[in-house]
Amino acid sequence: MRDSARSLVHRAAAAAAALTVALAAPAAAHEEHEHLPHHWESPGVRGELTGQTGILLLGWLAAAGTGRLLARKERERC
Amino acid sequence: MHRLRQILAIARVAYLENLRKQVLQVTLILTIAAIGSTTLLSFFDVGVQIKILKDLSLAAILFCGGVLAVVLSAGNIPGEILTHTVYPVLARAVRRSDYVLGRYLGAMATAALCMALLAVVFLGILAVYEKTFDGAVALGMLFILIEVAVVAAIGTLFSLFVSPLVAGTLTIGVFILGQIKISFLHGAIERSASPAGSLLLKGLYAALPNLDCFSFKDALVHNIAVPPSYMGIVALYGLVYCAFVLSVSGIAFARKDL
């Protein structure tokens, strides 16, 4: 019981420390980021996302086909 | 229809298992505490306070989402193999890819529940200050959930090849590097003097998901309009990324010697 409580306190302390760092970073970087162009304003980012989506879609179709083939082979073996 | 029922049954079990995880409950309580603590900054005027509330709360929710994605995905399937509970399930006519999908959907259902709880707290506090419901912030949180889904899918894939600890560490790495991909890595490639370093960075750039595209924090904090078409592209990118990674995970698990 005591070990469990101690473990919970340790985890809470670690999470609190990580949360403090995570919260401090965006607050500190806030002023610097304000002057940079946003990703939704960049045509390059939009093009990159569209291209990657196309490639991933093809990859997904290929992977789904391979998966179906493997499942059929597995059924035949059984 | 039968397959869908099997997937949903596996997802339900995974969801109920995940709800009992202590680390999830602790992270959730701390994030709610972090969101609540931003209301203590009452020495600023209301406009500035709303901006700080949005900025810090969205950062806390993103952090919580990252933790959820890592915790829920890294040990999701290896834990089942370790406790041998996977064998009776696979002994029935359940496809291995369906098993991976079911476990992933269970993890995502848990993450969605946590995000919904955080959204209720955050939007409730925001409504008190703004005297109206902020739909844009709710939409922004939906994109954080898609980001969590992408990271969890990657974590699930890693967990099929390496131990949960290594998978978790790698997923954290992807989560952090994915956040700075466009803002930092792109510039680092341009600034890199050595060809080998540039090639390494380009490889890393191509392999990492564009996680910073899911963040509309600046737009929400400063009330900047984001084109709906861009949001559509980002949402589609996230969903296709998840589908691709899960398909590869299904193949990897089908070929895994259990």
Check residue B180 and give its pLDDT.
84
Top mean pLDDT of A59-73, B45-59, B163-177 is at: B163-177
Check residue B218 and give its pLDDT.
85
| A-B contacts (CB, under 8 Å) | 106
- The mean pLDDT of B54-65, rounded to a whole number, is 92
Residue A75 contacts B, CB cutoff 8 Å: no
Decide if pLDDT at A4 tops 80. no
Average pLDDT, chain B: 89
For residue range B181-202, what is the model confidence (pLDDT) as tens digits?
877 777 778 787 788 888 888 8
Distance CA B49, CA A40 (A): 25
Q: Which residues of B touch A17 (CB under 8 A)?
A: none
Return the ∠ at Cα B21 (arms to B24 and B235), rounded to 5°. 50
For residue range B98-148, what is the model confidence (pLDDT) as tens digits?
999 999 999 999 999 999 999 999 999 999 888 888 888 899 999 999 999
3-state secondary structure of B90: helix
Residue A63 is nearest to which of B34, B55, B244, comparing CB atoms? B244
Interface ipTM? 0.81
CA distance A2 to chain B (A): 16
Q: Which residue of A has its CA nearest to B26?
A: A12
Domain residue limits, chain B: 2-254
Q: Please give the structure tokens belonging to residue B134.
A: 């902020």
Q: Name the residue among A58, A62, A60, A74 with its Cα closest to residue B254.
A: A74
Determine whether the interchain pair A67/B254 forms a contact, defined as Cβ–Cβ distance below 8 Å.
yes
Domain residue limits, chain A: 2-28+45-77
